[in-house]
Structure 1
Amino acid sequence: MIKLGHKIIGTGKKNIIVLHELMGNYKNYEPTFTYLDTDSFTYIFVDLRGYGLSKEIEGNYSCNEASNDIKNLITYLNLDDVTLLAHSMSTLIAQKIALIDARVSKLILVTPIPPSGIKLPQIAQDKLINEMSENKNKIEEIVYSASKRHNKIWAKTRIKMAYEASTLSARVGYMKMYLETDFSNEVENINIPIKIIVGKYDFPIFGIKSITKLFSNYYNNLEIIECQEAGHYPMLECPVYFASKIEEFVNKK
């Protein structure tokens, strides 16, 4: 059994496991650290295989592998009740974990991917994976197209973070994961409260109308909010708001 690298902040009784997106690692959440209630909560920021604190751990980067890695970490940390918080790519993993581990009592999904994954025509899918595999300007293209409202320093910082956060094989592997994974026929078994956070300035596919339509087909106990000053990165763009909304939801009975 491998043990994923992780950073623990806080000593509170309420446990929140935090997962990252494709082009970052636990450092994406650093702007929120100052605003976390570390007396009431324990935050466990986890890096998946090939990322950050787990950069040296190789794998097949599948949804099943990642989900079982987190399940094993929950056991290793001796936790009996956790909230899972995930961002973008890892929201798919978080939903899968909720299916296989009854210790997950709540989900927080930030700019999420539905349990059906992201569907693209095969030609478009192959092109995207090939461009990411070549490691030539695909990250730059994604960042610049999503960052038109911010200055050049923001874009440069995001690009630098993306390249430093992970190995190329991990980025390509997890991209394949969310393009090829579909467990939508299973999620009727997820009956825990779910909060979704989207950004007003995100890509339309992650916009509140699209996400509401998609996720309402799968879940009943669902709350969706829109961060008015964020795009795809509420934790970076609006850290105080982000931390506040997380803890508000976890405290909700």
Structure 2
Amino acid sequence: MSNKKNIALSLICASLATIFLVSVGFCSNRDNCIAIVYTEADFQGTSWEIYVTGEYDLWWKIDKDVENPRMIFDLPNDTIASIRVRPGYEVILFEHAELAGDSLVLDIDAPSLEGRWTGQASSLTVFRIEDQELVGRWQASVKSDSTEFAKGGIMDRDEIVAFMEENREGFSELIEAGENQWYDDTTDEQRINVAAYMLGLFEALGYDVSSWTPNTFAQSINNFYDWRKDLSLWQTACLVLNVDGAMYEEIFSSSRCRSLG
């Protein structure tokens, strides 16, 4: 009986490790991209690398029956905060989907978008304007972009384990819940309450969440789930805040396996 228990426990832990180590981002060959869009200022946060000129729109707004359908706007709606534009190209951001509403033209890097444009774009176009003089300098700038996660105030593993033990039920629910649990049979008020709880966890872990309210955080999670539906609620929240969620999931998984043993 003990042997069967150990085998089952090993399978559970292996399964948890597989889930927890899922990547929520990627980095490819940036030498060849023509624009990079970021969800945070100063070229930080989740990024989308654009390699092809053309029109980009929210996936649910694209008419696939036309001869040349628009390509997918591959970030959550209303999340663009900064953008890199390769010399020789021009990006036009649009306020709404389907290239509608006000527009902002960019032909140089923008570490922060002017005025009200932060978190306001829903579609865009990319054009070639035949000016390659500054390409080398731009490529060097792109390579210097930081890809680091935000740093929490608590970095000691034992302290993190202790905090997770105190909040085991909450962490477990966030890690196991996905888009269905976020939306199904929940009200706006309930989602805002969950967002407030999550912000409290991140603040206790030492992250600066002063720029967020429960309402804006819940709305951002909605936007991210419109973009990607395959992530857990914990992974999505970490993606919004540029937090290394996989690190915490590995710690939680390890401590859980030890406690089951």
TM-score, with normalisation over the residues of structure 2? Answer: 0.27
Rg larger in structure: 2
TM-score, with structure 1 as normaliser: 0.28
